[in-house]
């Protein structure tokens, strides 16, 4: 960006920041670090990044993959070459046209695309060459596209962007960032400005809401706020489960695992925690609805006196409380002696997950929207950094996961992933529990917030174009 473009960008941002328009202020905890795609780490940074940067493809309000910046695309017969053409006349906020150079730059700076060769066909077309067939590839292109050289040249908190919103002001008190202001000029939105106001700890958010400083905030805690409505939503990209360590001789007994699952009344167990998980590919068009996910048998009891199991949980009060529910049920229905091992959250990865140091692990894993679960369940992923933390090994499941990655047609992928789901459900390497609820408190003077498919925290804004501030006399 040359000097003239920088001056225009800064001047335009200033004018937009002071223009009187309808606004929405959300309180968040922490400090922002970067809004660049692939560099944004915290949930808030990711949310803002998602609003600032358009991508070749995106997910709509129903969770379906649709084109965004992409005008057209094709896939070679061998499934290794993807050719994508950009829509013409798409621009960055500094007035420069979005071109294939920006796609190539983004590809070189996004970890998930590191093994993909990216070639420029023309100013609007890029060819991606994969080392192996990978059916979920288009889902990787939902990452925001960055302007070339932006990481080196732009402010990570006030970048040149392409989305409906742009950062127009970052307010500081010394080195502490107090708020980040986003603004749109699109007529699709009734609320034109979003302010993210930063606080040091979660408890301050409810106080700020009571004082009228903010219009909304996310929280794991429950509050009774007179002027706020809790628009609670499930984060369906997170699965909380009980993972059995299949390297443990005792838990290699499939009958024991199935008995532990059979006595858990899932609906009563998770009612206040989230929505029930439907197996390893949950609540998706690829979910095999014919499978029995809830194996609860109200009549089943058995005396397993002498059997002892240990549940390892992150040392967080709500997780300990949930583990106690499991413990009480198993001790009551099966006479199993249950020990709960609490581990500090910042120690879970190094002392528990990486060395597979647990018997039964209560833990939440993130997954992608695509049904590909190779890294979570294929036998080659049993060792760290693979995410098959149970050590599950099944030839039928492995083959289904391999074929699912290689098959481009969804109808055929469904067949493979049905086989995978059956293998998991039949062998019970884990007890799938819930997709966690997130409390989202929003002022009762904000209307238009509707039901939507919320896979990530950022999806709370999927229908922001419908939100409207209600004015009272």
70-89 residue pLDDT tens: 999 999 999 999 999 999 99
Which residues, 6+ apart, have CB-to-CB distance to 249 below 8 Å? none
Which is nearest to 170 in space by CA: 326, 48, 307?
A: 48
Q: What is the pLDDT, as a whole number, of residue 287? A: 97
CATH 3.90.76.10 intervals, the chain:
54-145
CATH 3.30.70.870 fits 238-436, yes or no: no
Helix axes 254-262, 317-334, angle to 10 degrees: 100
In the predicted model, residues of the chain with pLDDT beneath 70 are 1-20, 472-473
DSSP secondary structure letter of residue 353: I
Contact 161, 91 (CB under 8 A): no
Q: With residue 210 as reference, give the H or E element that holds it.
A: helix 203-210
If 0-12 CB within 10 Å is exposed, 13-18 middle and 19+ buried, where does residue 463 land? Answer: middle
Contact 164, 125 (CB under 8 A): no
Largest CA distance in the chain: 79
Both tokens of 448, joined, read 């238009």
Round to whole Å and give the CA distance between 351 and 314: 11
DSSP secondary structure letter of residue 470: P
Q: What is the pLDDT, as a whole number, of residue 63? A: 83
Round to whole Å and give the CA distance between 356 and 351: 8
Residue with tokens 């609490």: 342
Contact 235, 456 (CB under 8 A): yes
Which is nearest to 315 in space by CA: 348, 338, 356?
A: 348
DSSP secondary structure letter of residue 112: G
For residue 87, the SS3 value is coil
Cis check for the bond before 298: say yes or no (omega within 30 of 0).
Answer: no
CATH 3.10.105.10 intervals, the chain:
238-436
DSSP symbols for 190-206? S--EEEEEEESSTHHHH
Instruction: Report CA dihedral (341, 345, 351, 356) to the nearest 10 degrees.
Output: 70
Q: What is the pLDDT, as a whole number, of residue 8? A: 53
Round to whole Å and give the CA distance between 236 and 367: 9
Which is nearest to 71 in space by CA: 59, 97, 89?
A: 89
Q: What angle do CA 130, 132, 134 make, to 5 degrees?
A: 85
Alpha-helical segments (H) within 315-445 = 317-334, 348, 374-377, 395-406, 410-427
Distance of CA 114 to the CA centre of its chain: 21
Q: What is the pLDDT, as a whole number, of residue 472? A: 67
Residue with tokens 């050719």: 83
Contact 304, 260 (CB under 8 A): no
Cis check for the bond before 385: say yes or no (omega within 30 of 0).
Answer: yes
Distance of CA 227 to the CA centre of its chain: 29
Q: What is the pLDDT, as a whole number, of residue 62? A: 84
- Name 439's bridge partners: 219
Which is nearest to 137 in space by CA: 389, 406, 354?
A: 406
What pTM was computed for the model? 0.92
Q: What is the C-alpha R_g of the chain?
A: 24
Round to whole Å and give the CA distance between 186 and 224: 35
Round to whole Å and give the CA distance between 358 and 172: 45
Q: What is the pLDDT, as a whole number, of residue 161? A: 98
CATH number corresponding to 54-145: 3.90.76.10
Which is nearest to 43 in space by CA: 58, 32, 57, 56?
A: 32
CATH number corresponding to 1-51+160-225: 3.40.190.10
Round to whole Å and give the CA distance between 448 and 463: 8
Which is nearest to 158 in space by CA: 46, 30, 52, 296?
A: 52
Round to whole Å and give the CA distance between 406 and 117: 18
Q: With residue 238 as reference, give the H or E element that holds it.
A: strand 238-244
Residue with tokens 């050289």: 149
The size of the chain, in residues, is 473
306-363 residue pLDDT tens: 999 999 999 999 999 999 999 999 999 999 999 999 999 999 999 999 999 999 999 9
Q: What is the pLDDT, as a whole number, of residue 20? A: 62
CATH 3.40.190.10 intervals, the chain:
1-51+160-225
């Amino acid at each position: 960006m040359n000097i003239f473009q920088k001056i225009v960008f800064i001047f335009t941002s200033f004018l937009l920041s002071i223009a009187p328009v309808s606004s929405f202020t959300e309180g968040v905890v922490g400090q922002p670090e970067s809004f660049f795609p692939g560099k944004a780490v915290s949930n808030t940074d990711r949310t803002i990044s998602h609003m600032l940067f358009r991508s070749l493809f995106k997910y709509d309000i129903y969770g379906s993959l649709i084109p965004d910046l992409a005008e057209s695309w094709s896939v070679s017969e061998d499934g290794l070459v993807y050719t994508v053409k950009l829509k013409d006349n798409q621009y960055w906020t500094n007035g420069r046209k979005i071109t294939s150079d920006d796609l190539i730059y983004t590809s070189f700076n996004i970890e998930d695309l590191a093994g993909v060769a990216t070639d420029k066909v023309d100013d609007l077309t890029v060819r991606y060459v994969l080392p192996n067939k990978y059916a979920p590839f288009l889902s990787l292109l939902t990452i925001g596209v960055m302007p070339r050289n932006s990481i080196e040249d732009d402010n990570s908190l006030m970048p040149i962007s392409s989305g409906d919103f742009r950062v127009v002001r970052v307010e500081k008190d010394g080195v502490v960032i107090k708020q980040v202001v986003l603004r749109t000029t699109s007529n699709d939105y009734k609320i034109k400005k979003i302010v993210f106001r930063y606080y040091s700890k979660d408890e301050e958010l409810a106080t700020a809401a009571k004082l009228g400083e903010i219009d909304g905030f996310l929280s794991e805690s429950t509050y009774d706020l007179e002027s706020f409505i809790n628009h609670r939503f499930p984060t369906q990209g997170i699965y909380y489960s009980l993972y059995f360590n299949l390297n443990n001789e005792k838990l290699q007994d499939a009958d024991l695992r199935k008995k532990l699952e059979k006595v858990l009344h899932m609906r009563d167990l998770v009612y206040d925690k989230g929505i029930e998980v439907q197996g390893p590919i949950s609540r998706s068009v690829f979910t095999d609805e014919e499978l029995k996910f809830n194996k609860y048998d109200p009549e089943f009891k058995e005396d397993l006196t002498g059997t002892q199991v240990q549940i390892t949980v992150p040392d967080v009060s709500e997780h300990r409380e949930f583990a106690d529910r499991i413990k009480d049920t198993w001790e009551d229905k099966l006479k199993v002696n249950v020990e709960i091992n609490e581990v500090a959250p910042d120690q879970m990865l190094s002392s528990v997950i990486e060395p597979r140091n647990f018997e039964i692990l209560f833990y939440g894993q993130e997954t992608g929207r695509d049904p590909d679960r190779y890294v979570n369940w294929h036998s080659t992923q049993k060792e760290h950094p693979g995410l098959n933390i149970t050590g599950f090994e099944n030839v039928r499941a492995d083959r289904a996961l391999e074929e699912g990655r290689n098959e481009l047609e969804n109808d055929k992928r469904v067949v493979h992933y049905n086989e995978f789901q059956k293998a998991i459900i039949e062998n019970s390497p884990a007890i799938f529990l819930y997709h966690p609820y997130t409390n989202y408190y929003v002022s009762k003077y904000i209307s238009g917030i509707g039901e939507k498919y919320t896979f990530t925290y950022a999806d709370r804004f999927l229908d922001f174009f419908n939100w409207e501030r209600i004015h009272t006399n």
